[in-house]
């Protein structure tokens, strides 16, 4: 693997000493950047952009030219795995992702096959390799996937949902069928992330966007159980280096202790969780990532700076904190406000690492 010129992100995830807090941002390659919108227009559609390794590489690198981020994250979509399983992913303008062939019954689940990342998802693996080559060790590259539960919600609902009625009904009425599907998805997610690691990803993140929609007992049984299985299947020792893993459950603040025991090196926090309390609850088991409210980026730079300071103060002294938003950046944020956040982290955080 290429030696990293800036490895502060990796060291922090492994809770090793650093001289400042690293910072990156969920959805940092996205619509808030005019240069991204130009490439997206050239691609013709979101899926064309995702499936073209050269264009995916270009937009992955764009934010690093503007901002002093400490990591790059692969530009892709969490629904690549269900698409590779034959569900027919498409995007409706203003409505988000949809599937032509949603999962409705046992026969649908029985037909699901674990995709071969080097075949059905080769475009993602090729994008990782190309990004890694172009980064030249400048910063680490984060690979990612949706969690088994989150992927299942889209697959059963047929797209986005507010009530999650279809997927929860299947979970309650046919729990064994849901377990069968989640087991296949855990295998698929692990194979997909392992392929990204082999292609050069230096860290991998599992996005459990909809785990927070579950009750406590159902979260443990249907979401965390399979996130843990993914972690067990990951091959995280590469060329003598450890590949850190992150788990982010939006709305998961209730279950931090259980998440900290799931094997991941770091947990992502949404903005509704107090990061100081979270640190107390998880102790030294895991690093923490987060957790500024994305809406705070609409405020003036001096307000953003104070929000950054508050989060750094709440986390307190020592390593183990990656600064990030508590969810992805929104499309109409002023890029200058992102710079204000990144600059504030760089300027304020050294005092917490003395």
pTM of the model: 0.97
In whole angstroms, give the CA distance from residue 67 to residue 324: 14
Handedness of CA 150, 116, 265, 76 (dihedral sign): negative
Looking at the chain, which runs of residues are DSSP E strands?
72-73, 89-92, 96-99, 141-146, 203-208, 237-238, 241-242, 245-249, 266-268, 287-292, 321-325
Please check if 77 is assigned to a binding site: yes
Q: Is 62 annotated as a binding residue?
A: no
For residue 328, what is the DSSP state? P
DSSP string, 245-304: EEEEETT-GGGHHHHHTSS-SEEE--TTS-HHHHHHHHTTS-EEEEEE-GGGGGS-HHHH
Let me know if residue 315 belongs to a domain.
yes
> Known binder of ligand: residue 29?
yes
DSSP 8-state class, residue 87: I
- Is position 153 annotated in a ligand binding site? no
Evaluate whether 324 touches 291 at the Cβ level (below 8 Å).
yes
Inside any domain, residue 2: no
Q: How many residues does the chain have?
A: 354
Q: Does the residue 63 lie in any domain?
A: yes
Instruction: From 348, 262, 268, 261, select the one nearest 311 (Cα to Cα).
Output: 348
Which runs of E-coded beta strand occur in 100-197? 141-146
* Res 233: pLDDT: 98
The CATH code of the domain that includes 80 is 3.20.20.210
Q: Which residues of the chain have pLDDT under 70?
A: 1-2
**CA 141/CA 131 separation, integer angstroms:** 8
Q: How many domains does the chain have?
A: 1
- Classified as helix, coil or strand, 51 is coil
Q: Is residue 307 part of a domain?
A: yes
Active site residues: 27, 31, 40, 77, 154
Residue-range definition of the domain harbouring residue 348:
8-353
Q: Would you say the C-alpha torsion 48, 248, 145, 265 has a positive or negative sign?
A: positive
The answer as to whether 257 is a domain residue is yes
Q: Is 191 known to sit in a ligand binding site?
A: no
pLDDT confidence of residue 2: 58
DSSP-derived secondary structure letter, 30: S
Q: Is 186:228 a contact under the CB 8 Å cutoff?
A: no
| DSSP class of 101 | S
Q: Is residue 1 part of a domain?
A: no
Structure tokens at 189: 């997610």
Q: At residue 147, what are phi and psi to the nearest 5 degrees?
A: -75, 160
Helix (H) or strand (E) holding 37: helix 34-43
- 200: region left, alpha or beta (phi > 0 left; psi from -120 to 50 alpha): left
Q: Is 31 labeled as ligand-binding? A: yes
Task: List the one residue out of 259, 249, 323 whose CA is nearest residue 285.
Answer: 259
Taking the C-alpha atoms of residue 68 and residue 136, their distance in angstroms, rounded to an integer, is 16
Q: How many CA atoms lie within 13 A of 24 on its CB side?
A: 26
Q: Residue 172, class by beta-carbon neighbours within 10 Å (0-12 exposed, 13-18 middle, 19+ buried)?
A: exposed
Q: Any binding-site annotation on 32?
A: no
* Predicted local distance difference test score (pLDDT) of residue 91: 87
Tell whether 3 is covered by a domain. no
Task: Report the C-alpha gap between 7 and 140 in whole angstroms.
Answer: 7
């Amino acid at each position: 693997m290429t030696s990293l010129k800036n490895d502060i992100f990796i060291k922090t995830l492994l809770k090793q000493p650093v001289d400042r807090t690293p910072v990156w941002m969920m959805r940092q390659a996205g619509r808030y950047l005019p240069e991204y919108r130009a490439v997206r227009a050239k691609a013709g559609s979101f899926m064309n952009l995702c499936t073209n390794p050269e264009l995916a590489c270009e937009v992955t690198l764009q934010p690093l030219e503007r901002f002093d981020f400490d990591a790059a994250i692969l530009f892709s979509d969490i629904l690549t795995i269900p698409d590779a399983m034959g569900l027919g992913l498409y995007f409706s303008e203003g409505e988000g992702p949809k599937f032509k062939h949603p999962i409705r019954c046992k026969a649908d689940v029985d037909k699901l096959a674990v995709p071969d990342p080097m075949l059905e998802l080769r475009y993602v693996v090729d994008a990782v390799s190309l990004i890694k080559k172009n980064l030249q060790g400048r910063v680490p590259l984060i690979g990612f996937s949706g969690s088994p539960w989150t992927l299942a919600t889209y697959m059963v609902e047929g797209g986005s949902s507010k009530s999650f009625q279809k997927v929860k009904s299947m979970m309650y009425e046919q729990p064994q069928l849901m377990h069968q599907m989640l087991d296949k998805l855990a295998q698929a997610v692990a194979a997909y992330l392992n392929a990204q690691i082999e292609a050069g990803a230096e860290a991998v993140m599992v996005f459990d966007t909809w785990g927070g929609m579950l009750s406590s007992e159902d979260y443990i049984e249907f979401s965390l159980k399979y996130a843990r299985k993914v972690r067990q299947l990951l091959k995280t020792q590469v060329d003598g280096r450890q590949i850190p893993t992150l788990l982010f459950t939006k709305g998961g603040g209730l279950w931090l202790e259980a998440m900290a025991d799931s094997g991941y090196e770091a947990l992502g926090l949404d903005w509704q969780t107090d990061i100081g309390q979270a640190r107390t609850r998880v102790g030294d088991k895991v690093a923490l990532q987060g957790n500024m409210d994305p809406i705070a980026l609409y405020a003036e730079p001096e307000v953003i700076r104070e929000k950054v300071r508050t989060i750094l103060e709440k986390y307190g002294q020592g390593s183990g904190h990656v600064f990030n938003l508590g969810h992805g950046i929104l499309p109409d944020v002023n890029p200058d406000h992102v710079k204000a956040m990144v600059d504030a982290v760089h300027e304020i955080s050294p005092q917490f690492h003395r």
